[in-house]
Amino acid sequence: MKTVKHIVRESYEEFILDKGSADGFLLSFLPDCQLLIYIQIYSLENEYIGQVHLGYTNFPKSIYLSDEKTSINGTRENLKKSFKEAQQLMIKVTTLAESPSFYYLEINLEEMPWEEGAKIFGQTLNLPYKSLFIPEVKAKAWTYYRGDFHGHTNFSDGHIKIEEVPEYLLVQGLDFMAMTDHNAVACQMPLCQSLLIPSFEMTLPFGHINIHGVESCEILDKKRLALLEHINSKHLIGINELLMNYSDSNISLNHMFMKPWDFQMNHLDLSLVNTIEVICDPTYPTASDANDKAIDFLDYLWTCGLQIYGIGGSDCHQRINELYQGANRPSVYGDPSTYVSSKELSSKAILKGIKEGRSYVSRFCQIDLIIDNGQILPGEAFNKSIIDYYVKVNPYEGENLDGYIAYFVLDGIKVKQIPIGKNLHFECNFTLDYRDYHWIRFGIMDPMGHHIAYVNPIYCNRKTPDTYILGDMIEEFHKHD
């Protein structure tokens, strides 16, 4: 085994590591103090190879690289040479938050030829894995696809192993899943019947943001890491510049009012945001009130003319036999589910659907929507004075919605509420002046008044908000709350 000690003196440093002619090797990194450190490995031609994060969650502290296989935090798809030919590597180290004037980073390189059945930190290397970034179309039909936009694995702080993910998604009946591990994306995932949307949870000191639909596992390059360090140093105004780097992705605000992870970045420009989680981690002790407030806040944004859409996220960290204290059911992938109307089951089409609001979020049931005789989908505009809005609620097997309340909203006001019992069909007829700004949505509450379903609004005309700054919006929202 070869050991190198490097002295790190700056928040960002690059240095060359001589690896020799080894074509299968394990790289391990060990600092002499507790710090949050991002280590990225490149070829000398600046081809991205992989990443190691130190000081946060369960992220692998090592990376295995060979011409046959790599660990899930590595890839050789970008390399023009073999590892045997590439005898040197470029190591890029970013140290976040305050650090000492210098520290020692020990790097151990152990030759380890790939062997059938070998395991590296729990990953069985000979299982069928594939790149997460090869575009994939799982189905071609215009319908509602069911999935989850927020979940974790043991790649960060989740309890479910990555190689267990396909079975969990199959059991839950999900068409798609966005795994959103903290500040990291696995370069490869096991073969899966469900569509896996490459995503990550940007985890910052004063709020969490999901980025859905990234193009590579190199999600934090030198420029983005510099902005991340700026924000971690409490210069929160840098958040807008950072998010501009992900403008092609879906940018979603997570658990906005759920303490202690509530969103506090008041400088955020909401024009950069596509979606907000309206139902998140619903079995967590404080989730019900926090989710209700998120829906009230999104209603307020729509009343102000800011058209951001709602999605759901289980934020599942646990195995199915683990429960939060006081919970009577587990936190699982797909609770809540987001149903997205899309022409096909692909990452591009699903993300286009939620960006355009063609979706709804629900627990315990699937919802059939017939708006204007099927001419209008959630998130779409209309230009007529009379709108017939018809809903059929279909409880999941074993679920009973007796005592729940179905309701319709016009311009932020509940105009009709109907108890759910044996009758699962609901209708509301709206007459309004479509030349003015109006919006309509449907939802369901449980007997305690907590939301379990949210259908994105339809609308006519547009209204320009007075501000797009989150802090200003929240301040005015609290005045009306």
The answer to whether the peptide bond before residue 260 is cis (omega within 30 degrees of 0) is yes
3-class SS at 157? Answer: coil
More confident residue, 111 or 450: 450
CA 112 to CA 68: how far, in whole Å?
Answer: 12
> Residue 49 above 70 pLDDT?
yes
In tens, the pLDDT along 241-283 reads 999 999 999 999 999 999 999 999 999 999 999 999 999 999 9
Strand partners, 279: 312
Higher pLDDT, 114 or 131: 131
Q: Which two three-digit tokens encode residue 25?
A: 């090797």
DSSP string of 171-211? Answer: HHT-SEEEE--BT---SEEE--SSEE--EEEEEETTEEEEE
Is 230's pLDDT higher than 90?
Answer: no
The whole-number pLDDT of residue 205 equals 82
Residue 124: band (very low, low, confident or very high) from pLDDT cuts 50, 70, 90: low
What's the average model confidence in pLDDT over 134-161?
A: 95
User: Which pLDDT score, from 0 to 100, does residue 235 have?
Assistant: 60
Residue 234: is its pLDDT beyond 80? Answer: no
Instruction: Compute how many other C-beta atoms are within 10 angstroms of the C-beta atom of residue 415.
Output: 12
Task: Report the amino acid identity of residue 395.
Answer: P
Cross-strand bridge partners of residue 89:
17
Mean pLDDT, residues 436-443: 98
Choose the weakest-confidence range: 77-81, 206-210, 375-379.
Answer: 77-81
Distance of alpha carbon 364 from alpha carbon 356, whole angstroms = 24
* Backbone dihedral angles phi then psi of residue 441, each to the nearest 5 degrees: -150, 170
- Rounded CA-CA distance 251/362 in Å is 21
Distance, C-alpha 112 to centroid of its chain: 35
- What pLDDT does residue 198 have? 97
Greater confidence (224 vs 215) lies with 215
How many other CB atoms are there within 10 angstroms of residue 314's CB atom? 28
Q: Say whether pLDDT at 125 is over 70.
A: no
What integer pLDDT is reported at residue 4 of this predicted model?
A: 93
Residues forming beta bridges with residue 422, ordered by sequence position: none
- pLDDT value at residue 228: 77
Measured CA to CA, the distance from residue 229 to residue 81 in angstroms comes to: 33
- The token duo for 291 is 């989710």
CA distance 252 to 335: 18
Burial 370-401 (b: 16+ CB within 10 A, else e): ebbeeebbbbbebeeeebebbbebeeeeeeeb
Tokens of residue 185, six digits: 């994306």
What are the tens digits of pLDDT across the range 151-209?
999 989 999 999 899 999 999 999 999 999 999 899 989 899 999 999 999 998 889 99
Is residue 115's pLDDT more than 80?
no
The C-alpha angle 76, 82, 83, rounded to 5 degrees, equals 80
Q: What percent of the chain has pLDDT over 70?
A: 95
Report CA-CA distances (Å) from 226 to 10, 95, 182, 215. Answer: 12, 10, 17, 20
pLDDT (0 to 100) of residue 121:
59
